[in-house]
Each structure stands twice: as structure tokens, then as C-alpha cells.
Amino acid sequence: MGKKGPKRHLKRFPSPAFWPIHRKAYKFAVKPNPGPHPLDRCIPLLVIVRDILNYAETAREARRIIKERKIKVDGKVRIDHKFPVGLMDVIEIPDAKEYYRVLPHKQKGFILHPITEEEAKFKLCRIEDKRTVKGGHIQLNLHDGRNHVIKISDPKKPVEDVFKTLDVLKISIPEQDILDHIKFGENSLVMVIGGKNIGLVGKVLKVEKGFGRHRSIVTIELPSKDIIKTSLLYVFTIGYEEPVISLPEGVL
């Protein structure tokens, strides 16, 4: 009888192309554990420590650094070297006083963008879905696996429910308090997080609704005045006139 359940190992060759690892140097790569981000849109914490930050030369050294509680993700210490780190996550190295945010990049897929200590106190989360839970309260399901419940005083008149799917919440970390609500729509500033235009930033000109979110098309004007179109799945609101987060040089 064959083995049941998912595979526990991942070879380097089929691993996501944006991982900065040598494909033919070794046979196996680190397979991320189940967590807030899917396999094709995350980077294992060990790869970040060893191959991106260059704090270690081997996997053994990287595991030791992580086990010594020297790395924080979204304000929490992570000791799992297979922890999946993904879009908009904030990485903190307290001993070195270094702070990074995971952002999409045109050539590299995902990069660690250096940020200030003040900016490392919050992150942006996109609302993927919402539902009504017991008591008439609203539960917001965010892109990184978080669930945030909005308390409703009167379920028949939910005036507190001003949130829509694809809107973005600015939340404090690790407290997870809502600091700001950024609405998605025309004239909002968005970042493309997937597809061939990944990493580009521009202003929404038009949203063409289709059958389902994956068939809806968003028209975006770039700072260079070029016009691009992408799927509604691939837009992430980051502000209105100005982004609420710092961006890599040359993006805007």
C-alpha cells in the first residue's frame, strides 16, 4: 500500500523560480510547512536567512540562528526554519536592527525591501473574503491567513461594516489592531502582485467586471503614463495619491 498524505520533501528543480537557490548544486530544497502563504507564493525562512540575507553558509548554520530566536516575522519570533514568508510580511532581526518587507519584484518575483523601524510596526493585508458569524458580527478573511472580527452592535443595521473584498487593512503587528482602511476602486494606487506585470505600481483607471474575480480585468496607468491590464486577482491597494508603505527605488 502506497504512502498517503502530502510529500514531505521538495526537490530543487521544481521549486519556485524566484527562490535564489542553485538548482543543480544539491538535490533537495527546503519545503515550506503549511502556513499563511501557499508554496508558490512564499519563501522558507531558512532560504531567507541563508541565501538572501547571507547570515549563514549552510542550512545547519541557518537553522541554529533561527532556533536561537533571532528572527521575527510580523512581530513574532519564529523558530520553524520551514515557516513560509510571503507578500507584505515584515521580517525583523533585532540584534542587527534590520527590518524588511516582502514585496513583489519585476525580475526577482519577491524581494526583501529594507524599511525603517517605525514602518516595521505595521503591515498591509488584503481582504479576500468576508462572512457573518455568530451574533451578527462580520469576520474578515485576510490574504495571509488572518481572520479579523468586526463587532456589530445591531445586526439589522450593521453600520460598522464598511469593508469590502479587495480592500486593504493597515494593521499593527503583533497586536493586529486596525490602523487604517484603504478602499479599492478607481483612482486608488495599486501594486501588481502576480502575472507578467508583477511589481509594477500605478493608478486604477477602470475595473471591468467579469464572471468571477479571475475573469475581471483592471486597467492601470503607470507613472510613465503607459497603460497595462491585469486580472483583478493580481491587484493590491497600497494607498490613494501616495503609497502608505515605502517602495523600491524606481517603482514610482
In this prediction the pTM is 0.92
Q: Compute the distance between CA of residue 252 and CA of residue 241 in angstroms, rounded to an integer.
A: 11
How wide is the angle at C-alpha 60 spanned by C-alphas 62 and 18, nearest 5°?
55
Examine residue 4 and state whether it is found in any structural domain, yes or no: no
C-alpha 168: how far from its chain's center?
12
The contacts of residue 144 (CB under 8 Å, 6+ apart) are: 36, 37, 86, 87, 88, 89, 125
Residues 88-122 pLDDT 10s: 999 999 999 999 999 999 888 899 999 999 999 99
Has residue 170 got a pLDDT over 90?
Answer: yes
Tell me, what CATH number does 204's domain have? 2.30.30.30
Give the CATH number of the domain where residue 91 resides: 3.10.290.10
Q: What pLDDT score does 239 carry?
A: 95
* Whether 76 and 89 share a structural domain: yes
Same domain (yes/no): 43, 107: yes
Instruction: State whether 178 and 195 are in the same domain.
Output: no
